[in-house]
Structures are given as C-alpha cells and as structure tokens.
Amino acid sequence: MSQHFPALIIVIPLFSALMVTVAGWFNKRLCFPISLLSLAAVLYSSIGLLMQVLSRQVVQYRLGGWPPPFGIVYEVDYLNSVVLVLVTAVALINLIATRISVVEDFPDKLGPFYTLYLLFVTGLSGIVVTGDAFNLYVLLEISSLTGYALIGMGKEHAPLASLHYVFMGTIGASFYLLGIGYLYLVTGSLNMVDIAGILPKLYGSKVVLIAFIICMTGLFIKMALFPFHSWLPNAYADSPPGVVGLIAPLTTKVMVYVMLRITLYVFKPEFSFASADINTAFVWIAAFGIVVASVLALSERRLKRFLTYVLIAEVGYMVGGLWLANRAGITGAILHIINDAAMTLCIFLAAGNILRQSRSDAFEDLKGLFRKMPFSMAAFVVAALSIIGVPPTCGFFSKWYLISGAIEAGQYVFVAALLFSSLVNVVLFFRIIEIGFFEPLDDHHHQAPEITRREAPMGMVISLVAVAVGLIVLGIFTRDIVTKIIQFAIPEGIT
C-alpha cells in the first residue's frame, strides 16, 4: 500500500471526483462526506510520503512500470513532499471550514462544486509530485481549467473576472509549454532528472537560454508576479469563500514551487544563477512588485480586494528570495511557501466569516466586529500579525530568512522592499482592526452601544481558530522545519 502513495495522491481525488458527480445526482448530501474522506486519504498518503522521504530520501514511482526517461515518473524528495503535505492539508481544512457557506452559496450545484474542488486538488498535487516536465503541463491545465470554473461560479462580476483569468492563465501555460518544447528539441527528453543530466553540455546554447526565459515568463504570469498580476484581484475578490480559501493560498504557492523546481533541479543553480546581474535584475523586479502591490493595497476600500494585493506582494517575497541565490534566501522562499499558504488560508477564512455574517466587506461596514464575532476577529488579528511579520507567528520567520539572505547577498533594495511592505501591512491591517475594534460610542455617556454577538457557525469558527493556532505552532517549530526538511531541499552547491 504505502509504496503506491505517489499514485494514490492522484488517483484517489480523481476517482472521488467522478463519484461525487454521480452521487450528486442521487443525493446531494453525499457529496461532502465523499470529498472529505477522499481528501483525508490524500492527506494521509502525503504525510506517509513525507515520512518515507525523511527516512529514505527520494521516493520514485514509475507509472505503469515504465522506466524513466520513457515513462512518466513521480519523484518525491524533500522539496515537494513538504509542499504536497501543505497542498493537501490546506485543501482538507478549507473543505471542512467552508462546508456551511458552500451549501449556502451553491444549494443546487453541490455536485459540480465538489467535483471541481477535487479535480483542482488532483491537478495541484499532481504538479507537485510529477517528475515529468510535460506531465506537469497537463496537470497544470487540469488545475487551471477547474480553477476558472470555480471562480466563474461566483456572483456578479465573477464570470468576467474568470474570463480575464482564462486569457492570462492560458497565455502563461502556453509560454511554459513552449519552453518545455524548446527543451525537448535540444535534449530529446521530458523527464526532469534526465533533462538535468543532459543540459550541462548545452549550457552555452541559445535555445536553452530562450527555453529558460520563456518557462520563467510563463510561470511569472501564472503566479501573478508584478507586472503580470492584473488578473488576480478580480478573480479572487469576487469568488465565494469556499473557492477563494482553496485557490488563493495554493495556486500562487504551487507556481512558486514549480519555479523552484525548474531553476534548482532542471536547470541547476550553475545555469540559473550564472549571471549575478540577472539575479539582481530579478530581485529588483520582485522588490518593485512588492512595493507597487503594497501601495495598490493601500488604495482599496474592501477587505477581500486589498487582501488580494497583499497576496501579490507576497509572491514578490518568494521570487526575490529565490533569486538572492544563497542558502538563506532560498530557505526563506521555501519556508514562505508554507507560511504564506497557512496565513493566506487563515486570513481568507476569516474574511469569509466576516463576509457571511455582515453581508459586506466594505471597510465602513466592519464597525463593532470584534464584539460581534470575537473568535473570528481574534484569528484575523493573528493572521494579520503573521503577515506583518511579528514573532512568534510564522510570517516573521520566513521574513527573517529572506532579510538575512538579502543582507548576505548585499541586496539592500530587497531588504528595503520587505520592510516597506511590512510597514504598509501594519497600516493596512490596523486600519481594519481599528474600525472593528473601536465601535463608535453612542454619545458622551461612555457606554458602548449594545452589540449582539453574531459569530459564524461553530464549524467555521473552530477550523478558523485551529488554523490561527497553527500559524503560531508553525512559527515555533521553524527550526525543525528548516533543519529537518528545507535544508535538504536546497541543492548542496548553494551556500
């Protein structure tokens, strides 16, 4: 059983998705339990894989028994085992946390919703485990297409936003495919390990360089790095909580993972980081993106919209961290994949609860929110502190590594951008906290008006608070995550 974990991670949600569709025809109430069981099984398998990796280093699985480089191989190492656990855990938690609001948002479409949900998770976990560059493209399309559909299910402008996303996403994926095509042209292989073995002889080739640049451009579009970010705010801001809690934490982070995989393990650092000028250029782009996204976030007056800009700024953190091209920076980037996914999940779940209870997320409608929903807002504050980067929440520690790496590399512009973004985040979040915390007093009698408590349903609150506690736990265990996993996920040549 356990030797089939890599395949099960794809097979279980794929077949459950079909089952959910069928079950949805007969009884809508079956959809959720099936999805829950399936994602729980996937999480179990991915944790099992992580354990295997921790004891045996690399797990290789040949689909259909075909040997590489001819067949498709799933390779799980330190880098992707931890991302895999992250993806499946976030998907499962979000599934549980948003059960009630999904029923409210899509009373007639439960079957399709959960089918898409599971297919989306299939796509993302596939991207993470696969060792085949073309297979990655296929899975990328699975996750993207289901993502478009999920976003399109939202209200008001959602279909239009989804269309915008379709255009940008397709362009991004096509770029990636084109890059892989070029690589196939010169190496004759699609297996990542195989390509990595062949490439060093071809590092001088212009085709390889073009392939690299095109691949990266495609990924930048997909991860919404500035200036390719325009699709993201609309797509995420109008989608319902059940969707955004899945897509927002995972999509950009998985794309960052793919970027790490390609730069570190397909092209190898000797090629990717060969030119210090290019590294600096990428760091500057990332820094610029962080600053611009932070400034744009300041101008928003709706909770979810401004969170999307924060998300775009965070992408810059990770891209910049990678191109610092030193151990601390890359550690920061990988750590931030984990931490950012966790805190994005937390903040969007909290925003979902707020939106559900007060029917609006415009800033002026958030008055007295702490009294109305104390637990959700407590979780919101923890997530906000984590995004600002206050110890001992996890966001502080990834920022720690990123800034350390930037200081080590002498990239003070990146240091400044990170600090600027932290400070802007303080302004952003405390603006909301101020509105929510200090409800207006009625007159001079110093008595707060009576606000009845209208907390979100128990299930939503408990999972949200659990995620918030998780942010602190992740922070406290940073040392273990870094020394036991991330340290080995970075190629040895990088110091």
Partner 1 sequence: MVPVVSIKPLLAVLASMAVVPFLIYCRKPNLREAWTFAAAIIKFFIVVSMAPTILQGIPIEYQVAEVLPGVAIRFYVDTFGLLFALVSSFLWIITSVYSIGYMRGLNEHSQTRYFCYFALSLSATVGVAFSANFFTLYLFYEMLSFATYPLVAHHQDVEARSSGRRYLTYIVGGSIGLLLPAMLYIYDKTGTLEFARQGILSGHATPGAVKILLLMCIFGFAKAAVMPFHAWLPAAMVAPTPVSALLHAVAVVKVGAFSILRVITGVFGTDLLNSLHLDTMLCLIASFTIIAASLLALNQDGLKLRLAYSTIGQLSYIVLGAALLTPQGLIGGMLHIAMHAFGKITLFFCAGAIFVATGVRNISEMDGIGKRMPVTLACFFIGSLSVIGLPPCGGFISKWYLVLGTLESENLLMLFVLLSSSLLNAAYFLPIVYRGYFGPPNPSKYGDCVKEAPLWCIVPLVLTAAGSVVLFFLPQPFLKLAQMTVKHIFMGP
Which residues bind to partner 1, rule: CB under 8 A? 385, 388-392, 397, 400, 403-404, 407-408, 415, 419, 422-423, 426, 430, 434, 437-441, 446-448, 475-479, 482-483
- Least Å from the CB of residue 396 to partner 1: 9
- C-alpha span between 72 and 75 (Å, rounded): 10
**Nearest C-alpha neighbor of 249 from the set 314, 338, 388, 344:** 344
> With respect to partner 1, which residue has the nearer C-beta, 245 or 395?
395
Q: What's the closest the beta carbon of residue 351 comes to partner 1, in angstroms?
A: 20
CB of 269 to partner 1, least distance (A): 21
Between 260 and 388, CB nearer to partner 1:
388
Give the relative orientation of helices 327-358 and 374-388 as an angle to the nearest 10 degrees.
Answer: 160
In whole angstroms, how close is the CB of 414 to partner 1 at the nearest point? Answer: 11
Structure tokens at 336: 């931030």
Contact 418, 399 (CB under 8 A): yes
Asked if residues 143 and 169 have their Cβ atoms less than 8 Å apart, the reply is no
Q: Give me the least distance between CB of 407 and partner 1, in Å please.
A: 5
Closer by beta carbon to partner 1, 51 or else 427: 427
| Closer CB to partner 1, 140 or 382, in the complex | 382
Q: Considering the complex, state which of residue 363 and residue 400 has its C-beta at the smaller distance from partner 1.
A: 400
CB 295 to partner 1: min, Å = 17
Cα angle 413, 418, 421 (rounded to 5 degrees) comes to: 120
First to last CA, the chain: 38
Q: Which amino acid is at 311?
A: L
Tell me how far, at minimum, the Cβ of 135 lies from partner 1, in Å. Answer: 36
- Contact 89/456 with Cβ under 8 angstroms? no
The CB-of-388 to partner 1 minimum distance in angstroms stands at: 8
Give pairs for 410-415: CB < 8 Å, separation 24+. 411/280, 411/283, 411/287, 411/320, 411/324, 413/283, 413/284, 413/287, 414/283, 414/286, 414/287, 414/320, 414/324
Smallest distance from partner 1 to CB 418, Å? 9
Kindly state the smallest distance separating residue 275's Cβ from partner 1, in Å: 24
The long-range contacts involving 290-296, CB below 8 angstroms and separated by at least 24 positions, are: 290/226, 290/316, 290/317, 290/320, 290/417, 290/418, 290/420, 290/421, 291/417, 291/420, 291/421, 292/226, 293/226, 293/229, 293/421, 294/420, 294/421, 294/424, 294/425, 295/424
CA 446 to each of CA 240, 321, 440, 452: distance values in angstroms, whole numbers, following the listed order: 39, 50, 10, 18
Comparison of 134 and 400: residue with beta carbon closer to partner 1: 400
Nearer to partner 1, 108 or 443 (CB): 443
Which residue, 44 or 400, has its beta carbon nearer to partner 1? 400
Q: Do 44 and 37 contact (CB within 8 A), yes or no?
A: no
Nearest one of 41, 46, 107 to 33, comparing CA atoms: 41
Nearer to partner 1, 140 or 403 (CB): 403
CB nearer partner 1, residue 211 or residue 385: 385
